[in-house]
Amino acid sequence: MERQGTRAYDKLIFEISSPGRIAYSLPDSDVPERPLGELLPREQLRAKPAELPEVSEFDIVRHYSRLSQMNYGVDTHFYPLGSCTMKYNPKINEDMARLAGFGRLHPMTPAASAQGALQLMYDLGLALAEISGMDAVSLQPAAGAQGELSGVLMIRAYHRSRGEKRTKVLIPDSAHGTNPASTALAGYEVIEVKSDAEGAVDLGDLERHLGPDVAAFMITVPNTLGNFEPRVVEIAELCHAKGAQVYMDGANLNAILGITRPGDLGFDVCHFNLHKTFTTPHGGGGPGSGPVGIKAHLEPFLPTPVIVKQDDTYGFDWKRPKSIGKLQAFWGNFGMLVRAYTYIRTMGADGLRRVSENAVLNANYIMKRLEAHYDVAAPGPCMHECVLSARRQKKLGVTAMDVAKRLLDLGFYAPSTYFPMIVEEALMIEPTETESKETLDAFCDAMIQIARETETDPRVIHAAPLTTPVRRLDQTRAAREPALRWSRPAGP
Amino acid sequence: MSSIPSDLRYTREHEWAKQEGSRVRVGITAYAQEQLGDVVFVELPKVGTKLTAHKTFGVVESVKAVSDLFAPISGEIVEINADLPNTPQLVNQDPYGRGWMLVVAPSSAGDWDQLLTAEQYEQFLSESGH
């Protein structure tokens, strides 16, 4: 049950402000004070003080404690958001990240005094390279999309170094939206490749587009329909024969750990989402971490600095003339690297393989239990996630969005909806390996209940959610007429 | 089945084109707006922009998805629908009428004949399982 009395709390901190209230007194300045006008350009000085909230320390504690009681995350609920791998974040990761030698390390600490941190990064790079079959890894990218951008920029630098002018990148129509976005940001024209009826790459369409102007083909494996791309090796060979590089979006890596490796399948580049596969927090601000792995021919183009080991000493290598440059402040999201390293060392090789086996087993269990009640987007067995379609329910007036809203009332976060875009009324469910059978069953029971309600009492679905802090939002109006700024109500 | 007026031509990406004297008016089909759901934003190029047939010319965003808009024909934009920035819902309410997007001065007469007729578009929708 939701806590009584907290659900209705919807105050902004500005609304509990009372003039003159102070929560904290700054210590006296120990440097000589100078007028602001001497320190800042005049156009940056305010005429009036900013209208900041004025609250007591107790007000702040209570305000944020009450808001935090409405938090919804993997620590409180099943969160089967497809393609996001919302798995349990082990608390030992937090212990390690808080060790003073990591947690209190200043990013400007000279390499000689930060050997432990550098060794952790060096070893994590080796571990990710081994897991993926790649030759080198950069830990800098802040999240998946920046990993993609780094990878595509390395591909661009590689082609340029060979004097080749290639202007296009091919991407399947089932791709995550970040793929075309990163590619366009790297200066390429994006060409969409069609999927066949099973959601796999249409090889004919791929070959049609695969000309001498194509720099790369970018694909998610397993694909966004939750299936292993059946002709992935053939695809890589086709691309290489035309001089194109092959990029694997590693968003779905959780399905294949210890079973197969992107490098062995023929990929030249792949990124990792540490906040998905490697149990660093996902959501709540993360932050994310999206290391990128590459084959040896791309090594000269790695972002700087590269962490190197000489004898038993670790250091930064900045002298890399062909590098695509630096991408991220300092050394990436280091706290996440500590957590991912901890996870990999906790699990070991056998443990990681079991992760994927159980993730795949759990997804297939859900698909099997639900296939009589919802349409399945692609014939199974699936990998680590399954994509259902509410097209049967839509005929009765219940859309995928309605199913998602009703699930909130029944105590579950909703699956991804309307993705992949090639599936009508898509519901993409990723349970991950960390859920028990009891949880999977409770979720399936809820989904089956909704399928029944669609036939008997769709009103309850259309009214949902009733038990959440806010009821169904008017998404359309929110997007068409967004209110992006709170304004103080007129005084009495 | 969504409405498919017989006097228009169509693309496989679900745009419609209407001959108006020497010019061509362009929008998206009733089927397209149904699939997109409530349209919340339409991004169009400026008057004077040159279009190339089959290439993207803008973006339509709905509560569900962001989709590219594809030019049915090559030519130069002579008019855009100035109502769409503030009332994108016109695309849902009246896709073949007040929800129009562009008027184009065609640069290549042959483009028109490459477009699907209403009959062909209807068949395309039923073949692709729509």
Contact B34, B3 (CB under 8 A): no
For chain B, say whether A421 makes contact (Cβ under 8 Å): yes
- Does A23 share its domain with A123? no
Q: Is the pLDDT of residue A338 over 70?
A: yes
Q: Is the pLDDT of residue A132 over 60?
A: yes
Are the Cβ atoms of B89 and A475 closer than 8 angstroms?
A: no
Write out pLDDT tens, residues A90-128.
Answer: 999 999 999 999 999 999 999 999 999 999 999 999 999
* C-alpha–C-alpha distance, residues A13 and A61, integer Å: 11
Are the Cβ atoms of B38 and A475 closer than 8 angstroms?
A: yes
Which residue in A has a C-alpha nearest to residue B42's C-alpha? A480
Write out pLDDT tens, residues A407-457.
Answer: 999 999 999 999 898 899 999 999 999 999 999 999 999 999 999 999 999
What's the pLDDT score for residue A1? 39
| Cβ neighbours of A418 in B, within 8 Å | 64-65
Residue A266's pLDDT band (boundaries 50, 70, 90)?
very high
* C-alpha–C-alpha distance, residues A132 and A130, integer Å: 5
Q: Can you give the residue ranges of every domain in chain B?
A: 9-104
Q: Which two tokens stand for residue A415?
A: 């699956």
- Does A336 share its domain with A369? no
Write out pLDDT tens, residues A301-335.
Answer: 999 999 999 999 999 999 999 999 999 989 999 99
Which residue in B has a C-alpha nearest to residue A196's C-alpha? B128
Q: Which fold has domain B9-104?
A: OB fold (Dihydrolipoamide Acetyltransferase, E2P) (2.40.50)
Closest CA to A232 of A243, A245, A242, A222: A222
Write out pLDDT tens, residues A33-51.
Answer: 999 889 999 999 998 988 8
* C-alpha–C-alpha distance, residues A208 and A206, integer Å: 5
Q: Which two tokens stand for residue A404?
A: 């998602």
What's the pLDDT score for residue A257? 98
- Does A134 share its domain with A258? yes
For chain B, say whether A473 makes contact (Cβ under 8 Å): no
Are the Cβ atoms of A475 and B63 closer than 8 angstroms?
A: yes
For chain B, say whether A395 makes contact (Cβ under 8 Å): no
Residue A409 domain-assigned (yes or no):
yes
Residue A83 domain-assigned (yes or no):
no
Residue A427 domain-assigned (yes or no):
yes
The DSSP call for residue A300 is G
- A421, A475, A476 member nearest B65 (Cβ): A421
What is the mean pLDDT of the segment spanning A382-408? 96
Residue A283 domain-assigned (yes or no):
yes
Question: Mean pLDDT for each consecutive 10-residue tract of chain B (130 residues)?
Answer: 90 96 96 93 95 94 89 97 94 97 94 95 84
For chain A, the average pLDDT equals 94
Task: Specify the CATH number for the domain of residue A235.
Answer: 3.40.640.10
- Does A108 share its domain with A60? no
Contact A254, A231 (CB under 8 A): no
What is the nearest CA distance from B100 to chain A, expressed in angstroms?
18
What is the nearest CA distance from A406 to chain B, expressed in angstroms?
18
Total number of domains in chain A: 3
Which residue in B has a C-alpha nearest to residue A420's C-alpha? B65
- Does A292 share its domain with A403? no
Contact A142, A296 (CB under 8 A): no
What's the pLDDT score for residue A488? 81
For chain B, say whether A177 makes contact (Cβ under 8 Å): yes
What is the nearest CA distance from B63 to chain A, expressed in angstroms?
6
For chain B, say whether A31 makes contact (Cβ under 8 Å): no
- Does A198 share its domain with A117? yes
Write out pLDDT tens, residues A67-87.
Answer: 888 888 899 999 999 999 999
Q: Is the pLDDT of residue A205 over 90?
A: yes
The DSSP call for residue A9 is -
Residue A4 domain-assigned (yes or no):
no
Among B2, B39, B40, B43, the strongest candidate for a mutation testing the A interface, having the largest count of A CBs within 10 A, is B40
The DSSP call for residue A5 is T
Radius of gyration of chain A (CA): 25
Which residue in B has a C-alpha nearest to residue A480's C-alpha? B40
What is the nearest CA distance from B67 to chain A, expressed in angstroms?
10
Among A194, A480, A481, the strongest candidate for a mutation testing the B interface, having the largest count of B CBs within 10 A, is A480
What is the mean pLDDT of the segment spanning A26-32? 91
| Cβ neighbours of A421 in B, within 8 Å | 65
Question: What residues contact A157, with CB distance under 8 A and at least 6 apart?
Answer: A301, A322, A324
What's the pLDDT score for residue B65? 83
Are the Cβ atoms of B88 and A476 closer than 8 angstroms?
A: no
CB-count exposure of residue A109 (10 Å: 0-12, 13-18, 19+): exposed
Are the Cβ atoms of A480 and B88 closer than 8 angstroms?
A: yes
Closest CA to A278 of A204, A352, A225, A183: A352
- Does A311 share its domain with A387? no
- Does A297 share its domain with A264? yes
What is the mean pLDDT of the segment spanning A386-413? 96
- B38, B61, B65 member nearest A418 (Cβ): B65
- Does A190 share its domain with A317? yes
Query: Chain B: which residues have CB within 8 Å of chain A?
Result: 35, 38, 40-41, 61, 63-66, 88-89
Query: What stretches of A210-312 show up as alpha helix (H) in DSSP?
Result: 232-241, 262-265
**In which domain, by residue range, is A100 found?**
91-346
- Does A248 share its domain with A298? yes
What's the pLDDT score for residue B127? 85
Residue A56 domain-assigned (yes or no):
yes
What's the pLDDT score for residue A6? 47
Query: What stretches of A7-140 show up as alpha helix (H) in DSSP?
Result: 36-39, 57-68, 91-98, 100-103, 115-132
Which residue in B has a C-alpha nearest to residue A173's C-alpha? B67
Write out pLDDT tens, residues A49-67.
Answer: 888 999 999 999 999 999 8
Beta bridge partners of B17: B9, B26
Residue A231 domain-assigned (yes or no):
yes
- Does A28 share its domain with A144? no
Are the Cβ atoms of A418 and B64 closer than 8 angstroms?
A: yes
Are the Cβ atoms of A480 and B64 closer than 8 angstroms?
A: no
Are the Cβ atoms of A476 and B61 closer than 8 angstroms?
A: no
What's the pLDDT score for residue B129? 63
Are the Cβ atoms of B38 and A418 closer than 8 angstroms?
A: no
Scanning A68-107 for CB atoms below 8 A from B yields none
| Cβ neighbours of B85 in A, within 8 Å | none
Residue A208 domain-assigned (yes or no):
yes
Q: Which two tokens stand for residue A33?
A: 């004070």
- Does A140 share its domain with A259? yes
Residue at which a domain ends, from A37, A68, A99: A68
For chain B, say whether A490 makes contact (Cβ under 8 Å): no
DSSP for A216-270, written as a single string: EEEEESS-TTS---TTHHHHHHHHHHTT-EEEEEGGGGGGTTTT--HHHHT-SEE
Q: Which two tokens stand for residue A19?
A: 């003039």
Residue at which a domain ends, from A306, A321, A346: A346
